[in-house]
Structure 1
Amino acid sequence: MHPEAMCGSARNRPPALTRIKSHKGASCDRSKMRIAFTLAFLLMAGPAFAQQSTLAEGRRLSEINCTKCHSIETEGESPLTDAPPFRELAKNYDPEELTDGFMEGLAVRHPLMPDWDVTEDQAQALTDYIMSLKGSEAKTGDTPALVGYELLRENCARCHALDAISISPLAAAPPSATW
C-alpha cells in the first residue's frame, strides 16, 4: 500500500501537522507509519542479515579450528599438503554430506584431523561458509546477501574484519560491520 493511501493525499495536508485525517476520517500518525515501514524493512531484510551472520560464523569457526591444515580461502594452498582446500570441498561435496559429516564426525584417515563436536547450527554455518567458496560467479539459488558477502569477502577481507567481533588483518582498517 502506498504511504499516502494510508494517511490521505500529501497535497491536502499542511506540512507541519503530524496527525492528519484520511478521506475516510481515520487519523494516521506519521511516527506510526515510520514504525510500520521500519518493521516491514526488518522483516524483509532479516533473512539476508541472518545469512550473512551464518557465513561470518562459519568463517570464524574455520579460522579457529581449520587454518592450521586447510586453506579456507578461494585461492592458495593448504598449509598441510594432505588437507584439501575448503574450495575443493565445496566443489566435490554436497552440502548435506558436509553438514552430516560435521555432525557425525568426519571419517578421515589423517591422524592430525581432530575429532571435535559441533552443534547443528555450527555444522550448518561451516557448510554454508565452505559452499560459499565455490566461486564468485552468481549461482542459481544464491541470495543477494550471499552474493554480496562473497564480494565483500573477496575484495575487502584482506584488510577488514568481516564482522564486528573479529580483528581486522590491517590494524588501521575498521571492521566492515562498522561501515
Structure 2
Amino acid sequence: MNLLLRYLILCLMLKSDKAKSSKPSYSDAIIRHYRILPHDMGFRHHVPNYRYLSFIELNIQQWLMQQRPTDKLGWVIASQQLTYIKESFLFDKLTLRSQLLAWDKKYLYFRHEFWVKNDLNVVALTKIVLMLDQQVQPTSVIVQQDEQTHPVIKTWQDNLNEIKKLTPIK
C-alpha cells in the first residue's frame, strides 16, 4: 500500500510539472528523498532488499515520465544487482540518486546510489527493457544516440552470461 501511495503522489507531481517544465536530458540524475517508515522495515529490523527495489522503481518511473515519448510506453526490469555497504534504519532519510549509465539497442542501464546523510549505504545497477503494447521497443525511442557502454556494465554482462552457463541445480 505504501508503494502505491508513493507512486500516486509521484504521478500527480509529474503530471502537474509536465506542462510547466521543459524535458530534462536523459542523462540527468533523478534525485528523490524517502523517509524509512515502519512498514519499510523487515523482520530483522533493517530495510530489506525489496524495499530498495521499490524505491528504484519509483525513480525509473519518474525518469521515463520525464522523457515523455508516449504515455503508453512502459518498462520491465530485466536484471538488478544491489551491493550493500551500510545498513539503513527506521526513520532514516534516504536520498536516492539514479542515472542512466549506458544503453544498447535493447536495454537501458541505470546506476542507483542510496545515501543517508553523507554515507553511501547501497549501490545498485538495473537493466530495463522498454515495452509498448507488449512488444519490446528499441532504446532509440528515448535515446537518439549510438550505443553507450561503460566498463561496469561490460563486467556485469559477462557475469550474467557466466551465470546462465551454470549447470542447473538438481
TM-score, normalised by the number of residues in structure 1 = 0.23
More strand as a share of residues: 2
More helix as a share of residues: 1
TM-score, normalised by the number of residues in structure 2 = 0.24
Q: RCO greater where, 1 or 2, for CA within 8 Å and sep 6 or more?
A: 2
